Amino acid sequence: MKTKKANGKRTNSKSHKKPYANVLERLPDNDPKTKIEVRTHLAQHLFLCEDYDGATKVYEDICSIIQEMLKHYIKLLNVRVNKKKIGQTYTRLQQLLVIEPRFAKAYQLCATYFTQQDDFEQAEAYRWRYEVYSWIRMLKSARELECSTTKLENDTSRRSSELLAAVCYHHYHGEEESKAFAILEQRGTAFEDDEQDLISLLLRTLLKKQQSVCTVKGTVNALAGMKYEKLFGILPNLLPHDVNVFFLTDTPNALAKLGDRRAIPLLTDTIDRSVQEKDDHNDEKVKSYLRNGTKKKDIGKVCLAVATSEQQYFTELEKILTDGNTLDYVTIEYL
């Protein structure tokens, strides 16, 4: 009975393909947007009819059309940027990056755009992203990442070190990210002169551009292993973070690895200060900070709900969840 029902659904899906095909044939070639919309409706219909092979084929057609459109779109934006026809170019580039956030060429054009605007800081930021996304290819599995890092380990060229830094920047988590940091640390210790300077530059840039506490942790430990002489000027600023319970930067271990005796009074002062602050804390100030001072508002609400007995904060947290809002991974980790 179930088989008959399934077959009936597939037959029904086939009978509905023809009207969609007729519409597609009549659409002009210069109207790809409508063609995508029609194909999307068809794919959704095939999926509901359990014609999964048919739906897959239609979605693949849509992807190929979009890829072709992106190629022409980026060429158009390239012309507009180079002809200094700025207008809505930057807005279009941002829309493009929403569709494909790893589109290296779009970052390059953004860098050109900001250079024309004499905003060299923004231009440099986009240029850095362009370098990263043009270096590292799209990885489709953990196995591909493992193969890539192994290949980079066996290649001691300058470019391979840059690619290892890109692996660290993308923050893949786990063994391969740790391996990339370990290789950079080893090279920074074994290499000399210009090559050693390159490794320290890559690691310092990672520390500056980092998007994760894990990147900070890996970077400071690698620089400490290299005995980077200017690291002691950086670590004291990170140390206060490590008296917290969450998002530790592993700075005490980096200080120990660095082997600088100046770390001893620094560590004892940090401990004494944290104990004193704990004794002198003001509940209302803490609440005010959690309500208004955190970049991630959800973390503040979660902390207030968990750390206080006041019902209003728990009610706010319940509302976030019952409204269907998803807490991001950082907030969940904190919770």
User: Could you report the per-residue pLDDT of 136-170, keeping only the tens digit for each?
Assistant: 655 556 666 667 778 888 888 888 888 888 888 87
DSSP 157: S
Considering the domain architecture, whether residues 315 and 229 belong to the same structural domain is answered as no
What is the residue-averaged pLDDT of the chain? 72
pLDDT for 326 equals: 55
pLDDT for 280 equals: 46
Domain region containing 94: 84-131
How confident is the model over 251-275, as a mean pLDDT?
A: 75
Contact 304, 313 (CB under 8 A): yes
How confident is the model over 224-239, as a mean pLDDT?
A: 82
pLDDT for 34 equals: 75
Tell me which amino acid residue 246 is. Answer: F
pLDDT for 183 equals: 92
DSSP 241: G
Considering the domain architecture, whether residues 9 and 68 belong to the same structural domain is answered as yes
- The contacts of residue 69 (CB under 8 Å, 6+ apart) are 32
In this predicted structure, which of 15-24, 125-134, 273-282 has the lowest mean pLDDT? 273-282
Considering the domain architecture, whether residues 109 and 159 belong to the same structural domain is answered as no
Whether the pLDDT of residue 86 is over 50: the answer is yes
- Report the percentage of the chain scoring pLDDT > 70: 58
How confident is the model over 230-249, as a mean pLDDT?
A: 74
Considering the domain architecture, whether residues 176 and 267 belong to the same structural domain is answered as yes
Considering the domain architecture, whether residues 272 and 307 belong to the same structural domain is answered as no
Contact 116, 86 (CB under 8 A): yes
Please indicate, yes or no, if residue 144 is contained in any of the structural domains: no
**Model confidence at 184, in pLDDT bands (50, 70, 90)?**
very high
Considering the domain architecture, whether residues 272 and 321 belong to the same structural domain is answered as no
**Model confidence at 5, in pLDDT bands (50, 70, 90)?**
very low
Considering the domain architecture, whether residues 114 and 195 belong to the same structural domain is answered as no
**Model confidence at 324, in pLDDT bands (50, 70, 90)?**
low
Domain boundary among 26, 51, 83: 83
pLDDT for 106 equals: 81
* Domains of the chain: total: 4
Considering the domain architecture, whether residues 39 and 92 belong to the same structural domain is answered as no
Across 134-143, 193-202, 244-253, 269-278, the highest mean pLDDT is recorded for: 193-202
Please indicate, yes or no, if residue 137 is contained in any of the structural domains: no
Contact 113, 89 (CB under 8 A): yes
Considering the domain architecture, whether residues 163 and 275 belong to the same structural domain is answered as yes
Long-range contacts of 271-276 (CB under 8 A, 24+ apart): 271/243, 273/240, 274/240, 274/243
Please indicate, yes or no, if residue 123 is contained in any of the structural domains: yes
How confident is the model over 15-28, as a mean pLDDT?
A: 65
Across 12-26, 168-182, 187-201, the highest mean pLDDT is recorded for: 187-201
How confident is the model over 77-97, as a mean pLDDT?
A: 67
Distance between alpha carbon 298 and the CA centroid of its chain, in Å? 19
Residue 248's Cβ-side half-sphere holds a number of Cα atoms within 13 Å equal to: 10
- Report the percentage of the chain scoring pLDDT > 90: 1
Please indicate, yes or no, if residue 272 is contained in any of the structural domains: yes
In this predicted structure, which of 67-71, 254-258, 308-312, 322-326 has the lowest mean pLDDT? 322-326
Compute the distance between CA of residue 271 and CA of residue 293 in angstroms, rounded to an integer. 24
The alpha helices in the chain, defined as continuous H runs, are 2-26, 32-48, 52-82, 89-99, 104-116, 120-135, 142-154, 158-170, 174-190, 193-209, 213-225, 235-238, 251-258, 263-279, 283-292, 297-307, 311-322, 329-334
Considering the domain architecture, whether residues 96 and 76 belong to the same structural domain is answered as no
Q: What angle do CA 93, 137, 70 make, to 5 degrees?
A: 30
Domain boundary among 279, 298, 324: 279
Please indicate, yes or no, if residue 69 is contained in any of the structural domains: yes
How confident is the model over 115-122, as a mean pLDDT?
A: 86
Please indicate, yes or no, if residue 147 is contained in any of the structural domains: no
Contact 296, 268 (CB under 8 A): no
Please indicate, yes or no, if residue 13 is contained in any of the structural domains: yes
Considering the domain architecture, whether residues 104 and 31 belong to the same structural domain is answered as no
Please indicate, yes or no, if residue 250 is contained in any of the structural domains: yes
Considering the domain architecture, whether residues 1 and 14 belong to the same structural domain is answered as yes
